[in-house]
Amino acid sequence: MLLPATLKIYNSSAGSGKTFFLVKNYLYVLLKSTCPDEFKRVLVLTFTKKASEEMKKRILQYLKVFSITTVTQKVNIEYDSLFYYLSKNLELSENQIYERSKKILFAIFHDFSSFSKNISTIDKFTYSIIRSFFSNKEEVFSLEMNTDQFLLKIVDNILYKLKNSEEWSNILVQLSLDKLNTGRSWNLSKELLKIARLMVGENNFFFIKKIKNYSFEDFIKLKNDLIKRTKNFEKKCKKQGKNFFQLLKQTSIQKHSFIHSDIPRLFQKLQKGNIFFNPFNQRLEKYIQKKILYPSTSISIDQKILIEKNKKKIFDLYQKTKHIYKKNISNYILDKLFLKNISTLSMIHEIEKEFHFLKNENKILLNIELNQILYEKIIKEPLPKIYEKIGIQYKYYFIDEFQDISFLQWRNIRMLVENALSENGSAMIVGDPKQSIYRWRGGDSKQFINLIYSYTNFYNKQLETIETNYRSYKEIVKFNNSLYQSISKIFNSPIYKDIYKNSKQKILKNTGGYVEINFFSTNDNNKNYKEYIYSKIKNRIKKLLKQKYMLSDIAILVRKNEEGFFLSEKLIQDGFSVNTSVSLLIKNHLEIQIIINFFYILVYPHCYQKRASFILLLLKNKFIYTKKEDHNFIMEILFLPLNLFLKKILLKNSLTLNKLYNKSIYDISENVIEAFELLNEKNTASIYSFLDFVYRSMSRVGNSIVDFLDYWESKKEKESIIISDHTNAIHLMTIHKSKGLQFSVVLLPFTDWNVISTSKEGVWMNVNPNLYHGLNSIYFEIEPYFKYIKHDISIQNIYENYLSNIIFDNINLLYVATTRSIEQLILFSKFENDNNKYISFYIINFLREIKMWNDKKYKYSFGKKTKNY
């Protein structure tokens, strides 16, 4: 009888050489086999294209070295140590590894497509499976990556219907009245887009699936019932309040006679309908239990006698009121929360119809829905035929960055992994819950945690921790070990607490490293603070250059895109080369704005608003010089014929319409650049990135300027400056983009972000379907005031779980940021002393724990500020 196979799970902290670890185990599988094309039976799934390309590159490099030399020739420590490891653990001689490597490399080059296909991103793998479900007779659907553009089209179509048909107009009126009645401002387009995004989000898949068949009319009926139910409860509470004050009137008891006036205040809230937050305070409850209704002094004997005489009636009224409140309040709160969103949720059915219509019409699949589509295919039968084929094809599975996998992604590939294990194959999963920073797009570290702690009869599980940090120097590893041991104490969740408590890494580079934390006062306004931080960043870069670092050794990591944009613009203005993936969009550069404005003038020559905007842009940036007042100059040239208008705005170089006639968009762009003398040494990257965009666009939209401008408007929010990775330039990116990367020096300029996000997070809550017309879950947004709803355990649990998750997300973000550096880590933060809403609080708390904190000290350092060679 065969023993169950083992699923190997590796907890790999930052800098632990995860890629090398995966490559080592991949080569172990290949070299263990006598079959040179064993790579065809190995599937490696990563999360980014860059990660998969890096793996392929490393595998080929090792095989190349192993196939042309032996370890005795001493290539380098990395190759030699891997060679020895494989030789020892596979019990192969040096010559056997040499021969097998050569044959494997030969087999890969003769079927490179299989090798490349089998080391893939999860999304690409999912898409390839979905494509295989379509028969040859069916039309192939293309993959649409720009989800927002597609959803905006859906919204536009629905808005058009709302405004241009009688049936839909009635819906629009109903939606508008609902929002007006709640006293909330309303942007219909924004609300529809929010619901459309909700529908395609993977986190909402199972819930949306249950309610998307509910029509607008179904929701209206449900809404009316909820309104009736909430009003009925409010009426009961008001009646109890009215009964109390009628009792006082009949008995001549005065309101101020009650102790602390708590009882009258309670019934006054009920009478006014102020019942969402629990009016039964603890002090009142304590006195009621002790049968105390009035103070021993400060009221008259007559009032005491009246209260004593009517004591039973008051207590009975109180207890009955409390019973009514407790019995109904939970449902009342849920009803009120659901009612806030029910108007827009009622459009789900119509959005769903438009969604499928547009997809079929354009023959596309959205990248964001691939996991959902595959899941739907799988659940229709126990094991789809394509899965049978894949199950036969692959015997070995490697899954990288497992902490970022979503429920559906794991659900879709789990049966393949389990099938391989049942047939004596193998599977290796590598992840790190501390680097889970994509919960907002479906990534769920709980999948990794559950996999570790869950039990199965079908296979064994072997959990190992890769403890050594191969990236960072001693002081950085020591700092991070201490910092996150301290932070682990703040978590209420025992799982989150243990994840960080057990995160201590071993130090490989036993010398060097430098960490510096700088705090600044928040007395200045935010703009001045940003400018101040930039001045510190600029000075630090200059010092690093004096320490013989290159610009490309330095990375600046930010939390938000707007922070990155601010810093990149300032750095470029000050003459620094910047390689950024952060908001350095082509559209934000003056020279590109001039070219685009010029195009608009060409195609809309009589749009004088465009002309006026263009003149102001040129005047403001000194492309036009005039002795006249701006207004007078604009009015003088605004209405001139186009040819004369161009002469007036091109004082140095003449660009006539004749010169532009019959030319390509690319040529016109070059002419505009030359005419306005736009190209200089500081904007080379933006100009050539734009010209590259123009060249690419011509293959999509042809040579029509009108079509080009439409295409530009649809793409301008994504088009960034193209800078080679090999350029000697400062790396500037978001923390999210930095995951998996490393840099000699890391600067964190704004380590003070708000842990409790200002953006609202939605939640689905299971409910009794009998109360909601068959719906077994409802949607509402988590609000800050939820922390005050102590009397409803379900809302309290939702809020506490939300807080726990969002703090974990933000600590993970800090962890990713502080573990990218090799030699130096430098943080800049606001002096937020005792406010746990800010990430800086946790750093200050750590400094307190290690007895370093001083309220008057603004700079802390660990290690020595020297370059490590």
Rounded Cα distance between 257 and 301, Å, is 11
What is the mean pLDDT of the segment spanning 510-535?
Answer: 83
Helix, strand, coil content of the chain in percent (nearest 5):
60, 10, 30
The DSSP code sequence of 276-339 is: SS----HHHHHHHHTT--S-SSSS-HHHHHHHHHTHHHHHHHHHHHHHHHHHHHHHHHHHHHHH
C-beta of residue 559 within 8 angstroms of C-beta of residue 540: no
Q: How many CA atoms lie within 13 A of 386 on its CB side?
A: 17
Give Cβ neighbours of residue 864 (< 8 Å, ≥ 6 apart): 475, 512, 514
- φ and ψ at residue 264, rounded to 5 degrees: -60, -40
- The Cα–Cα gap between 645 and 640 comes to 5
Lowest mean pLDDT among 182-186, 285-289, 308-312: 182-186
Give me the half-sphere count of Cα atoms (radius 13 Å) on the Cβ side of residue 826. Answer: 23
Residue 43 pairs in a beta bridge with 397
Strand partners, 743: 821
Contact between 5 and 461 under an 8 Å Cβ cutoff? The reply is no
Quote the tokens at residue 369: 């829905």
pLDDT score for 350 = 86
Report yes or no: 307 and 257 within 8 Å, Cβ to Cβ: yes
> Token pair for residue 479?
């700092």
The CA R_g of the chain, rounded to the nearest whole Å, is 33
Report the candidate in 513, 533, 535 with the shortest Cα–Cα distance to residue 525. Answer: 533
Helix (H, G, I), strand (E, B) or coil at 212: coil
Find, among 509, 506, 507, the residue nearest to 467 by Cα: 506
Please give the pLDDT value at position 334: 95
Residues 259, 241: Cα–Cα separation, whole Å? 18
What distances in angstroms separate CA 650 from CA 129, 625, 646, 654, one per listed residue?
57, 10, 6, 6
Residue % of the chain over a pLDDT of 70: 91
**pLDDT tens track for 140-164:** 678 887 888 899 889 888 888 877 7
CA torsion sign, 168 to 170 to 171 to 177?
A: positive
* Helical ranges in 654-792 per DSSP H: 657-660, 665-675, 684-701, 705-715, 735-738
Per-residue pLDDT, averaged over 279-296, amounts to 90
Distance CA 165, CA 160 (A): 9
pLDDT digits (tens, 9 = 90+) for 356-415: 999 988 888 888 899 998 888 887 766 667 677 777 889 999 999 999 888 889 988 888
Separation of alpha carbons 427 and 579, rounded Å? 38
Judge whether 406 and 439 are in contact, CB under 8 Å: no
- Distance between CA atoms of 377 and 469, rounded to whole angstroms? 42
**DSSP category for residue 266:** H
Question: Do residues 686 and 589 make contact, with C-beta atoms less than 8 angstroms apart?
Answer: yes
| Type of residue numbered 792 | D
Alpha-carbon distance of 427 to 395, in angstroms, equals 8
Structural element, H or E, at residue 766: strand 762-766
pLDDT tens digits, residue range 761-819? 889 999 999 999 999 999 999 988 898 888 888 899 999 999 999 999 999 999 999 99
Q: Could you tell me the end-to-end alpha-carbon distance of the chain, in angstroms, rounded to an integer?
A: 56
Q: Find residue 44's DSSP bridge partners.
A: 119, 398
Q: Distance between CA 414 and CA 738 in Å, rounded?
A: 29
For residue 730, the model assigns a pLDDT of 94
What residues form DSSP beta bridges with 51? none
| In 449-562, beta strands by DSSP E | 460-466, 468-473, 506-509, 514-520, 554-558
User: What is the mean pLDDT of the segment spanning 824-844?
Assistant: 87
SS3 labels along 803-817: HHHHHHHHHHHHHHH
Amino acid type, 750: F
> Is the pLDDT confidence value at 651 over 70?
no
Residue 732, beta-bridge partner list: 556, 580
Fold of 487-583+727-754+818-863: Rossmann fold (3.40.50)
Determine how many CB atoms are found less than 10 A away from the CB of residue 424.
11
Assigned fold of 6-133+368-466: Rossmann fold (3.40.50)
- Asked whether 786 and 795 are in contact (CB, 8 A), the reply is yes
Match 């192939």 to its residue by tokens.
Answer: 140
Identify the pLDDT of residue 182.
60
| Residue 745 confidence (pLDDT) | 97
DSSP symbol at 583:
S
237: exposed, middle or buried (C-beta count within 10 Å: 0-12, 13-18, 19+)? buried
For residue 2, give the amino acid letter. Answer: L
Query: How far, CA to CA in Å, does 526 sit from each of 455, 530, 532, 533, 579?
Result: 51, 6, 10, 10, 26
Residue 499 backbone phi and psi in degrees, to 5: -55, -45
Widest CA span in the chain: 109
Q: What is the pLDDT of residue 654?
A: 63
- Domain chopping of the chain, boundaries: 6-133+368-466, 144-214+346-362, 224-343, 487-583+727-754+818-863, 586-715, 762-806
CB 429 within 8 A of CB 413: no
Q: Is beta strand 468-473 parallel, antiparallel or unpaired with respect to 777-781? A: unpaired
Mean of per-residue pLDDT scores for the chain: 87
Q: What is the pLDDT of residue 72?
A: 47
Q: Using a CB cutoff of 8 Å and minimum separation of 24, what contacts does 486-495 make?
A: 486/842, 486/845, 486/846, 486/849, 486/850, 487/811, 487/842, 487/846, 490/807, 490/836, 490/842, 490/845, 491/804, 491/807, 491/808, 492/800, 492/804, 493/804, 493/808, 495/449
Instruction: Check residue 744 and give its pLDDT.
Output: 96
Mean pLDDT of 619-629: 79
631 exposure class (CB count in 10 Å sphere: 0-12, 13-18, 19+): exposed
**By percentage, how much of the chain surpasses pLDDT 90?**
46
* pLDDT exceeds 60 at position 57: yes
Give 220's contacts (C-beta < 8 A, 6+ positions apart): 174, 346
CA–CA distances in Å: residue 727 to residues 64, 161, 506, 582? 28, 51, 34, 17
Same fold, 6-133+368-466 and 487-583+727-754+818-863: yes
* Region 179-193 average pLDDT: 69
Measure the CA–CA gap between 495 and 452, rounded to whole angstroms. 12
User: Minimum mean pLDDT among 174-188, 197-211, 233-247, 560-574: which range?
Assistant: 174-188
pLDDT tens column, 416-471: 888 888 888 899 999 999 999 888 777 777 888 888 777 777 778 888 889 899 99
Based on the number of CB atoms within 10 Å of its own CB, is 735 exposed (0-12), middle (13-18) or buried (19 or more)? buried
The label of the residue with tokens 């959990």 reads 463
Residue linked to tokens 């070295």: 65
Query: Contact 11/431 with Cβ under 8 angstroms?
Result: yes
**Helix orientation angle between 147-164 and 166-181, rounded to the nearest 10 degrees:** 100
- 505 has a pLDDT exceeding 90: yes
Among candidate residues 191, 212, 200, 208, the one with its CA nearest the CA of residue 145: 200
Amino acid identity, residue 138? E
Backbone angles phi, psi at 401, to 5 degrees: 50, 50
Contact 323, 269 (CB under 8 A): no
